[in-house]
A = this chain, B = another copy of it.
Amino acid sequence: MPTLEDIRTAARELEGRIHRTPMLTSSALNERFGADLVLKAELFQKTGSFKVRGLLTKLLRLTAAERARGVVTVSAGNAAGALAWAARDAGVPATVVMAHTAVPAKIDAARGYGATVELVDGDLIAAYERIRDDRGLTGVHPFDDEDVITGHGSLGLELLEDRPDLAAVLVPVGGGGLISGVARAVRLLNPRIKVIGIEPAAADVVSRSLEAGSPQRLPGARSVADGLAAPVCGTHNFPLIQQHVDTIVRVSEESLVEATRWVMSRTKLALEPAAAAPFAALLEGLTVEGPTAAVVSGGNLDVSRLML
- Which residues of A (262-279) have their CB < 8 Å from a CB of B? 262, 264-265, 267-271, 273
**CA gap between A270 and B308 in the complex, in Å:** 13
CB closest residue in chain B, given A299: B268
Does A261 lie within 8 Å of B303, measured CB to CB?
Answer: yes
Contacts of A105 in B (CB 8 A): 265
Question: A44 on the interface (CB 8 Å rule)?
Answer: yes
Does A303 lie within 8 Å of B265, measured CB to CB?
Answer: yes
Given B43, B48, B261, which contacts A304 in the complex, CB threshold below 8 Å?
B261
Does B308 lie within 8 Å of A305, measured CB to CB?
Answer: yes
Question: A260 on the interface (CB 8 Å rule)?
Answer: yes
| Copies of this chain per assembly | 2
Question: A307 on the interface (CB 8 Å rule)?
Answer: yes
Q: Main SS of the interface on chain A?
A: helix
Question: A212 on the interface (CB 8 Å rule)?
Answer: no
Contacts A261-B303, A303-B261 known; A43 to B268 CB distance under 8 Å? yes
Contacts A306-B306, A308-B224 known; A264 to B270 CB distance under 8 Å? yes
CB closest residue in chain B, given A260: B308
Chain B's nearest CB lies how many Å from the CB of A200?
12
Q: 17 new A-B pairs (CB below 8 Å) besides A261-B304, A261-B308, A262-B303?
A: A48-B268, A105-B265, A257-B308, A260-B308, A261-B303, A261-B306, A264-B303, A265-B270, A265-B300, A265-B301, A265-B303, A268-B270, A269-B269, A270-B270, A301-B306, A305-B307, A306-B307
| 10 cross-chain pairs, A with B, having the tightest CB-CB distances, nearest first | A268-B299, A261-B303, A270-B270, A305-B307, A43-B268, A265-B303, A268-B270, A257-B308, A264-B270, A224-B308
Interchain Cβ contacts under 8 Å between A and B, 30 examples: A43-B268, A48-B268, A105-B265, A224-B308, A256-B308, A260-B306, A260-B308, A261-B303, A261-B304, A261-B306, A262-B303, A264-B270, A264-B301, A264-B306, A265-B270, A265-B300, A265-B301, A265-B303, A268-B269, A268-B270, A268-B299, A269-B269, A270-B270, A273-B308, A301-B306, A305-B306, A305-B308, A306-B306, A306-B307, A307-B307
